[in-house]
Amino acid sequence: MTAIETEGLTKRYGDLEAISDVNLTVERGEIFGFLGPNGAGKSTTIDVLLDFIRPTDGRASILDDDPQENPRAVRERIGILPDEYSLYDRLTGREHVAFAIEMNDAADDPDEILERVGLADAADQRAGDYSKGMAQRLALGMALVGEPDVLILDEPSSGIDPNGMHEIRTLLREEADRGATIFFSSHALEQVEAICDRVCVLDDGELLAVSTVENLRDSLDSRSVLVLTLDADPGSGPDPDDDHGLLELPDVTDVERTGATLRIECADPGVKSAAISRVEDTGASVVDIDVEQASLEDLFAELTTDSTDSTDSTDSTEDAEPIETPGGESA
């Protein structure tokens, strides 16, 4: 039995395709990260899983039940922290959890749940007076009621400080140890990498990759950029495209020169020292070394543009940078 499965899942709004042909399998007991930039279609996918919206094409199942045909059976076995929700402003935290307990016909103790999500002190406060982070904790608490087999969390980190996020990760690990499957959506790799077994990347409604966190992190690391500042601006010079022979090195994928600054994209971090020696061999002296870590957005861009045109994104940055940097840095 799979925890979550989608086959050819597609949702169109008129001409706009929010998600297209998403095929996803999450096994039971997994902690699965659902990654993608804002607007990629993560919430649309989750909304279909929860039967908030109906797919145009394809199907989804949770624990082998179709949420559209059998919503109650599905909702009895899952816990949801939705993306955009609101609480009963005039009910207290404890009343919210008690409501969830009665809806689930569960035997949980409201105070124990509130303790777990760190709201024990605010149990009798009205939810309308809660901060965003407290509301998020309360909604998570309501999701935990009834020991669900699958927990679906849509951007759980929003509104929660890093410290709180650490607590929540601990909580999710406890849930996973109990045997729960956790499906965790986020736009930031840092949020999911500390906890997830596998991740998938969704961009512009399409599923780009399913992989382990290590593989994803490796491909991010391998896309690091070495930024060297030389002692003098070689000017537009005899050869503005002079790459100091760097492109001859294996694993150097691109070189951009902007005034006295060289940006060297490395496919393997190990090539950096060789790149520096190569530049110094050409007679230039390096006065500053910096390494830019590629962000998840770069990876999204990379994964997306791989299939189409990979030069588009780099062109635009080249156009922008010469205007900004040379004057200030070489003076």
Partner 1 sequence: MSATLQIARAEVTDAVRSRVLWVVTAVLGLFVVTRLWLYGDLLAGTTYPFLSTFDTFAEFVPLLVIILGYRAVVGERDSGRIRLLLGQPGHRRDIVTGKYVGRAATLLAVVLAVALLLLAFVVAQFGTDGPTEIVGGLAVIILYTFAWLGVTVGVSSTFASETRVIGILIGLYALCVVLWDNLVISLVSLVVTGQAETGVDPLAGRFATLEEPTWFLYANRLNPLHAFDGARYYVPDLLDIAFVGGTTTAPHAPNLFGLGVLLAWATVPFLVGYWRFQRADLD
Separation of alpha carbons 191 and 200, rounded Å: 14
Q: Which stretch binds partner 1 (CB under 8 A): 74-82, 167-175, 240-248, 298-306?
A: 74-82
* Of 143 and 264, CB closest to partner 1: 143
User: Which positions ≥6 away from 171 have C-beta within 8 Å?
Assistant: 116, 117, 140, 144
For partner 1, the binding residue among 86, 215, 273, 317 (CB under 8 A) is 86
- From 6, 20, 44, 185, residue interacting with partner 1 (rule: CB under 8 A): 44
Residue 79 found at the interface with partner 1 (CB under 8 A): yes
Alpha-carbon torsion (126, 131, 137, 142), positive or negative: positive
Using rule CB under 8 A, residue 239 touches partner 1: no
Considering only residues 53, 120, 165, 188, which one is a binding residue for partner 1 as defined by CB under 8 A? 53
Of the pair 100, 168, the CB lying nearest partner 1 is at 100
- What phi, psi does 22 have (nearest 5°)? -85, 120
Residue 89 touching partner 1 (CB under 8 A) = yes
Select the span of 49-57, 114-122, 155-163, 267-275 touching partner 1 (CB under 8 A): 49-57
In angstroms, the CA 253 to CA 224 distance is 11
- By CB under 8 A, what part of segment 104-133 binds partner 1? 104-105
Asked if residue 289 lies in contact with residue 264, where contact means CB atoms within 8 angstroms, the answer is no
Nearest approach, Cβ of 3 to partner 1 (angstroms)?
Answer: 17
Stretch that binds partner 1, among 139-147, 176-184, 272-280, 294-302 (CB under 8 A): 139-147
CA 107, distance to chain mean position in Å, is 34
- 95 makes contact with partner 1 (CB under 8 A): yes
- State the nearest-atom distance from the C-beta of 46 to partner 1, in Å: 10
Nearest approach, Cβ of residue 146 and partner 1 (Å)? 8
Written as one string, the DSSP assignment of 207-231 is EEEEEEHHHHHHHHHTT-EEEEEES
Count of residues engaged in binding partner 1, rule: CB under 8 A: 34
- Residue 30 is given by DSSP the state -
Would you say 51 or 206 has its CB closer to partner 1?
A: 51
According to DSSP H, which parts of the chain are helical? 42-49, 71-77, 93-104, 110-116, 132-144, 162-177, 189-193, 213-221, 272-281, 296-306, 312-324, 326-330
The residue among 80 and 216 lying less far from partner 1, judged by its C-beta, is 80
Q: How far apart (Å, rounded) are the C-alpha atoms in residues 133 and 151?
A: 19
CA dihedral (106, 111, 112, 117) in degrees, to 10, reads 110
CA 39, CA 41: separation in Å to the nearest integer? 6
In this chain, which of 29, 37, 58, 82 binds partner 1, going by CB under 8 A? Answer: 82
Indicate whether 47 belongs to the interface with partner 1 (CB under 8 A): yes
Q: Which stretch binds partner 1 (CB under 8 A): 100-108, 237-245, 276-284, 286-294?
A: 100-108
Tabulate helix, strand, coil % of the chain (nearest 5): 40, 30, 35
Contact residues toward partner 1 (CB under 8 A) are: 44, 47, 50-54, 71-72, 75-76, 79-91, 95, 99-100, 102-105, 139, 142-143
